[in-house]
Amino acid sequence: MEETDIEQHDKIRTEIHGSNFEELETGLLPGNSGCGENLIKTEPSTTDHPYTCNICGKICNISSAFIIHMRYHTGEKPYKCEVCEKAFNERSTLNRHSRVHTGEKPYKCEVCGRAFNASSNLANHLKTHREATPYKCEVCEKTFNESGKLIKHMRIHTGERPYTCEVCGKAFAQHSNLYTHKKIHTGEKPFKCDICHKAFNVSKNLTTHLRTHSGEKPFNCKVCGKAFKELGKVTKHMTTHTGERPYKCDVCAKTFHLLCNLTTHMRLHSGEMPYKCDICGKAFNESPYLTAHKRIHTGEKPYKCEICSKAYTFQSNLARHRKSHIKKAV
């Protein structure tokens, strides 16, 4: 049986004050040197704020709000995630966190259609539609509503990567990317697909993966209307319309639409192969090649023919197999 708010409240007060808190109920301060002086409870008939915390001075009108507040001082986190065991001091925070594992994004922007897993994230996003954007990139003229966002954006042009992995030395432009990268070393993949049970190290990859099952393609090109499963794919696609190639190789002068393509290209000159198979030691200059190579060891065959159900390790093999059906039909 779940504890009521009053039972939870009494439990917390017992931890803080011991079992003797009758004085608190009558609004009297204990005279000893214990922790009882951290809480004053006045009579509801004389004030609209019956719960006052003497640690920080916060005033609460109802017991449930006070109970939650006191957990910030006690460190109590009674609500635990069943997937990753992370604990929280509020049930609502646990509910919001659970969406990280499920990929659920119930808060949708009415302007651009982008979805979020928390209402606060949607609120911050909406500012991008209605706020002024006074911070302008001098290279590509993209504008931002915060100077910090412009600083992060400039790293795309400068190539600056101030966040370095302590394990392998790989550097990143954003701290969040480094945090995600570290899971490669730990092997942590807390985000699991309920349909095929494939696991991912970040929630957005699970969200994108689920679209392979649903067929959803929510991102459309404004020029030709082509639809994509990922917003990043739209950005890449747009360069086919603009012809823009702002990233240039210093060695051979070849130009690219995207910085990531230039980074990969530079490895042809340097010979760098940072993606290494932990089973046989073979190294690759791009992560997709390593992912495909590992299927040789695991036996995974994710590419299945919709006509005869024959499965293949590589997409190119499936494409070649499909031609055999076309020839038979002819």
What pLDDT, on the 0 to 100 scale, is given for residue 19?
A: 40
Q: How far apart are CA 186 and CA 179, in angstroms?
A: 11
How many structural domains does the chain have? Answer: 3
Indicate which CATH number applies to the domain containing 291: 3.30.160.60
Domain that holds residue 70: 1-18+36-76
Amino acid residing at 327: K
Output the CA–CA distances (angstroms, integers) from residue 284 to 169, 184, 278, in the order listed.
17, 16, 12
In a domain, 10, yes or no: yes
Number of other residues whose CB lies within 10 A of the CB of residue 66 = 22
What pLDDT, on the 0 to 100 scale, is given for residue 293?
A: 92
Tokens representing residue 110 in the block: 């009415």
In a domain, 26, yes or no: no
- Write out the chain's pLDDT in tens, 330 residues: 344 444 544 544 444 444 433 333 333 333 333 333 444 444 443 445 578 888 888 888 888 888 888 988 888 999 988 888 888 888 888 888 888 788 788 888 888 888 888 888 888 888 777 767 788 888 888 888 788 888 988 888 888 889 998 888 888 888 888 888 888 888 888 888 888 988 888 888 888 888 888 888 888 888 898 998 888 888 788 888 888 888 889 899 999 887 888 888 999 999 988 889 989 999 998 888 898 999 999 999 988 998 899 999 888 889 899 888 887 766
Q: How far apart are CA 175 and CA 275, in angstroms?
A: 21
In a domain, 64, yes or no: yes
Asked if residue 90 and residue 53 are part of one domain, the reply reads: no
Q: How far apart are CA 8 and CA 68, in angstroms?
A: 10
In a domain, 212, yes or no: no
Place of tokens 């439990």: 11
Q: Which of 95, 130, 165 is the last residue of a domain?
A: 130
Provide the 3-class DSSP secondary structure of residue 301: coil
Q: Which of 130, 145, 165 is the last residue of a domain?
A: 130
In a domain, 109, yes or no: yes
In a domain, 290, yes or no: yes
200: left (phi over 0), alpha (psi -120 to 50) or beta: beta
Asked if residue 12 and residue 66 are part of one domain, the reply reads: yes
In a domain, 124, yes or no: yes
In a domain, 261, yes or no: yes
Asked if residue 64 and residue 109 are part of one domain, the reply reads: no
Angle among Cα 138, 144, 147 to the nearest 5 degrees reads 85
Asked if residue 54 and residue 11 are part of one domain, the reply reads: yes
